[in-house]
Amino acid sequence: MTTTTRTAHGSIRGPGGAGGARGGRRARTVRRPGAPGRGLGALRRDDRGQTAVEFLGMTPFIILIMLVLWECALIGYTFSLAGNAADVAARRGSGAEYAPGAACRAGALEDLPAAWASGATVSCGRGADLYEATVTLKVPVLVPGLFDLDIGIDGEAGSALEDWR
């Protein structure tokens, strides 16, 4: 689609205008953006939907990055759980008059979620002045069949021994 423009001298330019009919300068046609034909509007029309296609292409990578970040959060949470479980186990073991090993193990597994408690390893023992506990937890995997993290996170703690004499 073409438009007719008025020049600064008051003459009309464009198809059939005075500037184009005389032998003077050739008439200039101005295309509106998005008008059919060659130019920027035609290029814009060719790019329609490109953002949607690129987003669909990036979606698997976005999901993979989210899974990796979630797994990193699970690793951090496992560190927190292992330290807390070892601390509780050492306190229970040091305060138990009878069967401190059983009290230690029960204390370690008491507050652990099922995903962490199933693979937990607890070792308790009496030191010189401390009752020491070590809890090893395996990091759960968000998608078990996809990959396996064979990482054991250790939490160690000690508590002063109670004198039961």
User: pLDDT tens digits for 111-137?
Assistant: 999 989 998 999 999 888 899 999 999
Mean of all residue pLDDT scores within the chain: 82
User: pLDDT tens digits for 38-68?
Assistant: 556 555 667 788 888 888 999 999 999 998 9
Is 144 within the bounds of a domain?
yes
Is 22 within the bounds of a domain?
no
Predicted confidence at residue 32, as pLDDT, reads 61
Is 40 within the bounds of a domain?
no
SS3 92: helix
Enter the DSSP assignment of 156: E
Q: Which domain holds residue 123?
A: 50-160
The yes-or-no verdict on residue 149 having pLDDT over 90 is no
Is 17 within the bounds of a domain?
no
H helix runs in the chain, sequence order: 18-21, 40-46, 50-95, 100-110, 114-117
